[in-house]
């Protein structure tokens, strides 16, 4: 368990290109707001850097990795890094997504 906050905005998966609203988890806000959910247009009311480093995942079957556990298969979601852009403390909806695996 980490002390994550979430920014929920539409993000294009850097692997498969699917755009959907994703939960982008960040620790950058942990000292201020525990387990909170933020959306485009929200003002985080703090003097912050220009971006939040987040981790998001893609649940598309074509994107995940098939795993077998106890004879049952499931799709392990693929994770990637998202930098959520801020403008004067407001979540702009702009972002950069990177093809890396934060784990
Ligand atoms: Zn994907």
pLDDT number for residue 1: 43
Q: Contact 23/8 with Cβ under 8 angstroms?
A: yes
> Strands 5-12, 37-39: parallel, antiparallel or unpaired by DSSP?
parallel
pLDDT number for residue 47: 66
Task: Give the integer Cα–Cα distance in Å for 75 and 96.
Answer: 25
Q: To the nearest whole percent, how much of the chain has pLDDT over 70? A: 86
Taking the whole predicted model, whether its pTM rises above 0.85 is answered as no
Residues near ion ligand 1 (Cβ under 5 Å): 13, 15-16, 58, 60, 63
Report CA(21)–ligand 1 centroid distance (Å).
12
pLDDT tens digits along 1-34: 457 889 999 999 999 999 999 999 998 876 555 5
pLDDT tens digits along 63-74: 888 888 899 988
Q: Mind spelling out the 3-state secondary structure of 31-49? A: CCCCCCEEECCCECCCCCC
Task: Give the integer Cα–Cα distance in Å for 30 and 32.
Answer: 5
Report CA(66)–ligand 1 centroid distance (Å).
14
């Amino acid at each position: 368990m980490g002390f994550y906050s979430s920014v929920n905005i539409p993000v294009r998966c850097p692997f498969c290109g699917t755009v959907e609203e994703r939960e982008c988890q960040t620790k950058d806000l942990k000292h201020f707001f525990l387990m909170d959910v933020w959306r485009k247009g929200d003002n985080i009311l703090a003097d912050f850097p220009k971006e939040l480093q987040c981790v998001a995942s893609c649940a598309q079957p074509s994107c995940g990795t098939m795993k077998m556990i106890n004879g049952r298969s499931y799709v392990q979601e693929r994770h990637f890094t998202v930098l959520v852009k801020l403008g004067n403390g407001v979540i702009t909806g702009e972002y950069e997504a990177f093809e890396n695996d934060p784990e």
